[in-house]
Structure 1
Amino acid sequence: MKLKALVTALCVASMPFAVNAESVVKQAQQEQSQQTQHNIQREAGFNHTQQTVKAQYDALVAERNKLKTATEVLSTTFSTNEQHLSTLEQQLRLESGSLGELFGVVRQTAKEVQAEQQHAVTAIDNSQDNAVVNDIVAAKALPSMVQLQGLWQAMTDQIVASGQIAKVTVPYINGDGEQSDVEALRLGSIGLVGDNGYLRWDGSQHVAMAYLQQPEHAPTLADYQQLVSKGNEMLVVDPSRGVMLEQLAQSPTLMDRLQAGGAVGKVILLLLAIGAGIAIFRGVKLAMIRQQIKAQLKQPSKPGNNPLGHILAVYNKEQSRSVEALELRLLEAIVDEQQGLEKGLSMLKLFAALAPMLGLLGTVTGMIETFQVITQFGNGDPKVMAGGISMALVTTVLGLVAAMPLLLAHNILSSQAENIRMILEKQGISLVAEQAEKNDQHGQPASVMTTEQAA
């Protein structure tokens, strides 16, 4: 009984668990069915995608095959065309012969004519053939007969224009930058002449300007018109088409060279001017003294206002003294006159020695400036260093130029003063000898000293 009751109790207790297990199984089966349907849908999507990709792949392969076929066809066509083109080029070279070289000559000639038409003064009133010439220059093929005739006509016009003297009106820019139309005379293809001389033609801007410096006796428009009106067509021109006139502005004048010497050069010129003034004044003075002495030698009895007259006056005044005293007095007078004769000569000698030293000073100063410029800007441009080098060279030249005439003047004037002094000494010695002879005649013995011994 107890066992049967126990079994019964266990069966009653296990009934809820059996119900739960059955529900779980049903739920699992339901979820498995849903998963199966989902997998079937995914497989269907994958199959559709695979079919789409395969279709696209097949289409691309077909397109590739098509392009490959077209490429092979084009490559074959290109090779065929290249061979055909090579054959045609060879045939063209054979048929053209020397026309290729002729084309090169024609283009070169056209370029020269084009440059002439654009930059020469003939472009002022002869530019109607520019289009034909420009077409020939830009052409890549052989020129046509019309173009060749146009080139021939352009060359003919240039030749004719180069021999003409024509009056033209050109735009002119003055020194203030103002532009105006002025009349000028075109001398062929060589140059232009305006009211103030030659004009520089700028072919790139088609304007005329004045040269920085005109040549000496530069012709003007009025001068040429006067020559032409007289029937004289022999005109003086610049055959270099302005190159020589432009170089003329680069040639410094004497004043430019003197200004390049700077302050040292001005000091040297001042010394030269002062020395020249002293030399001229003393030269004139010594020449007058020589003339006065010559006149005095003709009249020794009448002492005048000149060095020899002063010596004679001392002799007339000191005749009562002894020979020794007279000689000393005459020597004193000669020394006084010598100082007057040599007055200013020491200054000339000083200037002659000082001028080269100043020139050397200017040279050193100029080289210092040159080195400073090199330090700042380098030595790539010679024009930057030209100022200091010019000063260095010009001051050296000025120093030498000033020293040579001053030294020469000093030597000449010293020789003249020495000659006058010798005349005075000779006359003084003769006077002392005359006085000694007089004393001997009167029985008064006396010893006579020469001027050199007294000195």
Structure 2
Amino acid sequence: MRRLLTAVMLVVLAAWPVYGAERQEKPVLGRVAEDVSQMRRETVENVEEVRRSIDAQRKELKETLQRVKRDAAAAREHAGRLETELAGLRAREAELTAELGGRQEAMRKIRSAVRDNAALLLESGPIYDVPGMAEGWRGTLEGMTAPEHFPSLEEVRLLLHSMLLSVEAGGRMALVRQPVHIRDGSLVEAQVLHYGAFQAAYAAGDETGFLTRVRGADAPQAFAYRPDSAESGMIAQAVSGTGKGPVPLPADVTGGRVLADPPARHTMLTAVMDGGMFLWPIMLIGVVGLLLVAERCVTLGRVRANGRQAVEQVLHGDRNMTAQAGRTPAERVVRRMCTPGGTPDDAEQMERRLEQAVLEELPPLERFLQTIRVLAAISPLLGLLGTVSGIIQTFRIITAHGNGDPKLLSAGISEALLTTEAGLLVAIPLLLCHHFLTRRVNTVMLDMEAAGTSLIAAGSSGRQQ
């Protein structure tokens, strides 16, 4: 196309001077016509050449486009295969990750179980040598207790073999005489009873107790724990063989932990001391509430509900008795409802006298009932306050010393639990007693009202006759 445009422009530029000279000479026009014809032929040839070139390029472009389309289709197909393969690889990766996590968890459990059992066997190790134990088993088990150590199969077999031998030895008992270190540290000959592989009792003169194996010591050593009189008697009978029949013996199933650090003997006084300062007012409330309940039980227990008999006495002529002569509230109410001459008055006046008499009789009956109720409500609140105080104390200890030692936390927890328990132990009986005492007062009140109503009805019917 560029060649065609160039040829047209050359023709126009060549013809312009000729036509501008007003067509002066015909020969010039002939030459121009020949030139134009020549240029037309050249232009046609150029156009044909350009058209052929365009057709060739178009064909080439079509072939290139088809080839690109085929390549794109092949690329898309390959990408689909790669995506499918990638999804499969990801699924396999997830399966392998889950399997790896399971195996790692199993390995952690195995390592933890082996480490814990090895430590348990070392800490509560037999107080005397068990026959059949492998040489150097203690050193091997100590290596197995390392945090990052993963046991080999041989080490696991050694641990299992040692535990089986210890369990087997735990079912045997042996009575021997051997040197032991008693509580004062001296080495003496004592009668020792081995029951099981992990515990032994001894008797050396008047001293009895339990033995433990101290690493590096030449003989077993006595625990600092002092048996009470009952335990000492059982140990002496079992060691000397003087007991008739089987003799029960105390056993420390924790492998010596309780004997090495025995818990303090708890009594009522120690429980009160562990309860903190809020336990004292709760106990005071309990004592005061108990005294008030006892007084109310005695007082209300003497009150009889005999309103019907009192009304019958008044109606059958016994009307000259004064109001103070009544022994029960119903009798006093009935006497107050009558006139000083002993005759019932009109119904309206008798109703007013009934209300006044019942109101006068209520205060002695309801005395201390509200106090008992208030004490029953305050007691659990004080227990809750003690619980909050104990929890605050526990968190202060955790902040200062951490939570590694449970004994440091026991004081606050004991205060929290003991005050809550004491508050409930005081509140529940007081509430029950308040309920029964209130029912008793209501019964007496109903008896007084029933007696007064009966007397009013009897007076009304007598006046109508």
Q: Which band: TM-score by shorter chain?
A: 0.5 to 0.7
Question: Structure 1 residues 389 and 309, CA, compared in 2 at 3 Å: closer, same or farther?
Answer: same
TM-score by length of 2: 0.51
**Distance apart, 1:347 and its partner CA:** 0.9
Q: Secondary structure at the match of 1:166?
A: strand
**Alignment partners' CA distance in 1, 2:223 and 2:199:** 12
**Distance apart, 1:350 and its partner CA:** 0.8
Q: Does 2:199 correspond to 1:187?
A: no
**Alignment partners' CA distance in 1, 2:329 and 2:443:** 13
Contact 1:200 1:209 in 2 (8 A): yes
Q: Does 2:385 correspond to 1:373?
A: no
Q: Secondary structure at the match of 1:186?
A: strand
Please list the CA deviations of residues 187-231 of structure 1 after superposition, one character each: whole Å capped at 9, or x if unmatched.
343433467986352433531125378799897224546986434
Question: Structure 1 residues 121 and 305, CA, compared in 2 at 3 Å: closer, same or farther?
Answer: farther
Match of 1:398 among 419, 422, 439: 422
**Alignment partners' CA distance in 2, 1:171 and 1:267:** 49
| 1:301-380 paired onto structure 2 within 5 Å | 301=313, 305-315=327-337, 318=340, 319-320=342-343, 322-323=345-346, 324-378=348-402
Question: Structure 1 residues 225 and 368, CA, compared in 2 at 3 Å: closer, same or farther?
Answer: closer
**Alignment partners' CA distance in 2, 1:433 and 1:299:** 11
Q: How many residues align?
A: 305
Q: What residue in structure 1 maps to residue 212 of structure 2? A: 201
Contact 2:344 2:459 in 1 (8 A): no
**Distance apart, 1:376 and its partner CA:** 3.5
TM-score by length of 1: 0.52
Q: What residue in structure 2 maps to residue 120 of structure 1? A: 126
Q: Secondary structure at the match of 1:220?
A: helix
**Alignment partners' CA distance in 1, 2:259 and 2:403:** 29
CA RMSD of aligned residues (A): 4.9
Q: What residue in structure 1 maps to residue 431 of structure 2? A: 407
| 1:205-220 paired onto structure 2 within 5 Å | 206-211=220-225, 220=234
Q: What residue in structure 2 maps to residue 55 of structure 1? A: none
| 1:204-243 paired onto structure 2 within 5 Å | 204=215, 206-211=220-225, 220-224=234-238, 229-232=243-246, 237-243=251-257
Higher mean C-alpha displacement, 349-358 vs 199-208 = 199-208
Q: Secondary structure at the match of 2:305?
A: helix
Please list the CA deviations of residues 336-393 of structure 1 after superposition, one character each: whole Å capped at 9, or x if unmatched.
3222221111111111221222123223333443344344435555543442343234
Q: What residue in structure 1 maps to residue 290 of structure 2? A: 276
**Alignment partners' CA distance in 2, 1:379 and 1:157:** 34
**Alignment partners' CA distance in 1, 2:258 and 2:294:** 42
Contact 2:202 2:239 in 1 (8 A): no
Letter of the 2:181 counterpart: P
Letter of the 1:320 counterpart: T
**Distance apart, 1:317 and its partner CA:** 6.5
Q: What residue in structure 1 maps to residue 84 of structure 2? A: none
Question: Structure 1 residues 179 and 300, CA, compared in 2 at 3 Å: closer, same or farther?
Answer: farther
**Alignment partners' CA distance in 1, 2:458 and 2:311:** 17
Q: Secondary structure at the match of 2:223?
A: strand
**Distance apart, 1:263 and its partner CA:** 0.9
Q: What residue in structure 2 maps to residue 163 of structure 1? A: 172
Q: What residue in structure 2 maps to residue 285 of structure 1? A: 299
Q: Which runs of 5+ in 1 are unaligned?
A: 1-111, 139-151, 442-455
**Alignment partners' CA distance in 1, 2:407 and 2:258:** 20
**Distance apart, 1:409 and its partner CA:** 2.2
Q: What residue in structure 1 maps to residue 28 of structure 2? A: none
**Distance apart, 1:158 and its partner CA:** 11
**Distance apart, 1:116 and its partner CA:** 8.7
Letter of the 1:203 counterpart: V
**Alignment partners' CA distance in 2, 1:300 and 1:217:** 72
**Alignment partners' CA distance in 1, 2:339 and 2:253:** 82
**Alignment partners' CA distance in 2, 1:166 and 1:192:** 10
**Alignment partners' CA distance in 2, 1:357 and 1:135:** 58
Match of 1:429 among 425, 434, 453: 453
**Distance apart, 1:250 and its partner CA:** 7.6
**Alignment partners' CA distance in 2, 1:233 and 1:354:** 51
Q: Which is richer in helix?
A: 1
Please list the CA deviations of residues 259-303 of structure 1 after superposition, one character each: whole Å capped at 9, or x if unmatched.
3220102211221232233224323433332xx335984996397
Contact 2:212 2:222 in 1 (8 A): yes
Q: Secondary structure at the match of 1:263?
A: coil
**Alignment partners' CA distance in 1, 2:398 and 2:166:** 52
Higher mean C-alpha displacement, 209-218 vs 312-321 = 209-218
Higher mean C-alpha displacement, 319-328 vs 427-436 = 319-328
**Distance apart, 1:184 and its partner CA:** 5.4
**Alignment partners' CA distance in 1, 2:407 and 2:384:** 23
Q: Secondary structure at the match of 2:181?
A: strand
Contact 1:120 1:203 in 2 (8 A): no
Contact 1:198 1:214 in 2 (8 A): no
Question: Structure 1 residues 207 and 304, CA, compared in 2 at 3 Å: closer, same or farther?
Answer: farther
Q: Which runs of 5+ in 2 are unaligned?
A: 1-117, 141-160, 319-324
Higher mean C-alpha displacement, 429-438 vs 344-353 = 429-438
Higher mean C-alpha displacement, 352-361 vs 371-380 = 371-380
